[in-house]
């Protein structure tokens, strides 16, 4: 059996509980704003989807899923969770983050050094690009595709070539924040799931400084899950309605939430 770098047993051993705790405690001690959440609405989500990328574009919900032999790109009905459109990746690809740039939809792969580009309407594959790093999260800031590779770095890429124009190191009070995963660009900030935690960090895209921490502790307990790797992952922002959605790998629900600044 293939044990991936994203397998919980391997990564927990590598990070260690104390190291992970220290990483999460640092922003709190540094007085970086912390946000709790309020659940506004709950929607169905297929608990067999290993969520790697999530976004809303023009009111439509898109998801990229992972795992070898199970990776897909989907357009979903928010109310029912049903797949309205779908394309599956070949078994040798492990799907990762997704982003929309104009009329094209980009999807990363994890270790295959490949990014696929699809027509947004038809899901027909247009082309592919080589990427020199692992692919984890992906988002679009209006000028660059922003890629995470599981480290503390964000790569700002030319969407035509997928070549990095700049690289930003993410830190909270000088401490690197690693395991950056699924990404979303919201009101001039990069929001990133910190893999294997219940937190999202808000990042200044110029300096890489963490400007806020969103604590989603307990949200996983509000749903049922389809497997042991059911960690928080997936951020979607509907800019038109200013609604925020989150989910996790193998979660049976997608949540619309509202942030509440912790006093």
Model confidence pLDDT, tens digit, residues 64-81: 999 999 999 999 999 999
**The pLDDT value given to residue 6:** 52
| 118: β partners | 105, 125
Between CA 112 and CA 107 the distance in angstroms is: 12
Cβ neighbours for 113, distance < 8 A, ≥ 6 positions apart: 130, 131, 132, 133
What percent of the chain has a predicted confidence (pLDDT) above 70?
A: 89
Model confidence at 210: pLDDT above 50: yes
In this predicted structure, which of 29-38, 74-83, 115-124, 251-260 has the lowest mean pLDDT? 29-38
Name the residue among 184, 215, 212 with its Cα closest to residue 197.
215
Model confidence at 222: pLDDT above 60: yes
What percent of the chain has a predicted confidence (pLDDT) above 90?
A: 87
Q: Tell me which fold the domain 24-261 belongs to.
A: Methylamine Dehydrogenase; Chain H (2.130.10)
Give the tokens for residue 210: 């963490």
**The pLDDT value given to residue 30:** 59
Residue-wise DSSP of 151-181: SSEEEEE-TTT--EEEEEE-EETTEE---EE
Confidence of residue 263 (pLDDT cuts 50, 70, 90): confident
State the average pLDDT over residues 85-90: 98
Q: Provide the whole-model pTM.
A: 0.90
Between CA 88 and CA 102 the distance in angstroms is: 22
Model confidence at 7: pLDDT above 60: no
> Is 235 or 28 the better-scoring residue by pLDDT?
235
Residue-wise DSSP of 91-123: TT--EEEEEEETTEEEEEESSS-EEEEEETTT-
Q: Domains of the chain: which residue ranges? A: 24-261
> Is 19 or 133 the better-scoring residue by pLDDT?
133
**The pLDDT value given to residue 31:** 82
CB atoms within 10 A of CB 12: 12
Model confidence pLDDT, tens digit, residues 174-184: 899 999 999 99
State the average pLDDT over residues 1-7: 40
State the average pLDDT over residues 118-127: 98
Please state, rounded to an integer, the average pLDDT across all residues of the chain: 91
């Amino acid at each position: 059996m293939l044990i991936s770098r994203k397998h919980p047993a391997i990564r927990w051993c590598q990070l260690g509980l104390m190291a992970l705790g220290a990483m999460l405690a640092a922003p709190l001690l540094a007085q970086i704003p912390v946000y709790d959440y309020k659940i506004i609405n709950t929607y169905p989500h297929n608990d067999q989807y290993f969520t790697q990328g999530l976004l809303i574009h023009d009111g439509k919900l898109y998801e990229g899923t992972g795992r070898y032999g199970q990776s897909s790109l989907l357009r979903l009905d928010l109310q029912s969770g049903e797949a309205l459109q779908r394309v599956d990746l070949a078994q040798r690809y492990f799907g990762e983050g997704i982003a929309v740039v104009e009329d094209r939809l980009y999807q990363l792969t994890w270790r295959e050094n490949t990014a696929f580009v699809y027509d947004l309407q038809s899901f027909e594959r247009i082309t592919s690009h080589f990427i020199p790093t692992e692919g984890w999260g992906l988002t679009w800031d209006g000028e660059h595709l922003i890629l995470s590779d599981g480290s503390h770095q964000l790569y700002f890429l030319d969407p035509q070539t997928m070549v990095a124009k700049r690289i930003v190191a993410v830190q909270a009070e000088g401490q690197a924040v690693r395991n950056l995963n699924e990404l979303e660009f919201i009101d001039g900030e990069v929001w990133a799931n910190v893999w294997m935690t219940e937190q999202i960090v808000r990042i200044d895209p110029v300096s890489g400084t963490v400007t806020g921490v969103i604590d989603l502790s307990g949200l996983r307990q509000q749903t049922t899950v389809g497997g042991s790797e059911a960690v928080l992952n997936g951020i979607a922002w509907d800019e038109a309605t200013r609604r925020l959605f989150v989910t996790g790998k193998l979660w049976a629900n997608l949540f619309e939430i509202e942030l509440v600044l912790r006093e």
